[in-house]
Amino acid sequence: MDNFKSAVILAGGKSSRMEFDKQCLFINKKRLIFEVARKLEKHFDDITIVTNKKEYYKDCKYNLVSDEMKNMGPLAGISVGLKQSLSNYVYIIACDMPNIDDRYIRYMKNKIKKDIKSKKTFDIYIPKVNNRIQLFQGFYKKELEHEINEYLLYSSKRSIISFFDRTNKKVSYIDEREFKEHKFRNDMFINLNTKEDLNIYEKGI
């Protein structure tokens, strides 16, 4: 199995703060989720959108899957995305994150390749920038799917961080020093949660 063939876009959120479904968000007359997918095509051959509203995606060329465990939050979306994927490591991003750094993705792939070669791999590779763990724009190991499902079945907690803590997953954090050294985009973790976020973003592009 290929190590880096697949990417997953999570689009199953409630969008309550935006007041309309972010899956249908357009910027400059282009639907954002398809623009995110198009950018990912530079790096991944297999792209999956996790959505509970497949009717929004007529004539969509990407894989479409829905949560198998309903109302369980983003962990359930990650789980079904990993199940669908065709690679050992899967790039996870949310549908409301418009900025992608090509150099960052290439760097992450090379980092994981080096760890595989040295036989010192991690289950998850994600950034930790500005003292904040960034749960998306990172790689998750495909085999985590079964552990996530088991965790959701037997735990009252639903957050991704609680899954890390409870199951002692090996996480490799890409830190502030690495970001500054390689001059990755500082805006790659922007997500458009509210209309105010959207207005600010549109003014800046």
pLDDT in tens, 20-60: 688 889 999 999 999 999 999 999 999 999 999 999 998 89
Whether the predicted pLDDT of 161 surpasses 80: yes
In a domain, 93, yes or no: yes
What is the pLDDT, as a whole number, of residue 46?
A: 97
CATH of the domain at 61: 3.90.550.10
For residue 77, is it within any domain?
Answer: yes
**For residue 134, what are the domain limits?**
6-204
For residue 1, tell me if it sits in a domain. no
Give residue-wise pLDDT tens across range 132-154.
Answer: 999 999 999 999 999 999 999 99
Mean pLDDT confidence for 72-82: 94
Check residue 15 and give left, alpha or beta (phi > 0: left; psi -120 to 50: alpha): left
Question: How high is the pLDDT of residue 157?
Answer: 87
Residue 115, in any domain of the structure: yes
Q: Which residues pair with 49 in a beta bridge?
A: 9, 64
pLDDT at 1 over 90: no
Q: Is residue 12 classed exposed, middle or buried when 0-12, 13-18 and 19+ CB atoms within 10 A define those classes?
A: buried
Q: Among the residues of 96-187, which ranges form H helices?
A: 102-117, 144-154, 160-167, 176-182
- Residue 50 confidence (pLDDT): 96
Domain count for the chain, please give it. 1
Residue 50, classed as helix, strand or coil, is strand
How does the average pLDDT of the chain come out, rounded?
A: 91
Percentage of the chain lying above the pLDDT 70 cut: 96
Give me the residue label for tokens 């007529």.
Answer: 58
Task: Say if strands 63-65 and 132-133 run parallel, antiparallel, or are unpaired.
Answer: unpaired
Specify if 24 maps to a domain: yes
Q: Does residue 19 carry a pLDDT above 80?
A: no
**170-199, pLDDT tens digit by residue?**
999 998 899 999 999 989 999 888 888 888
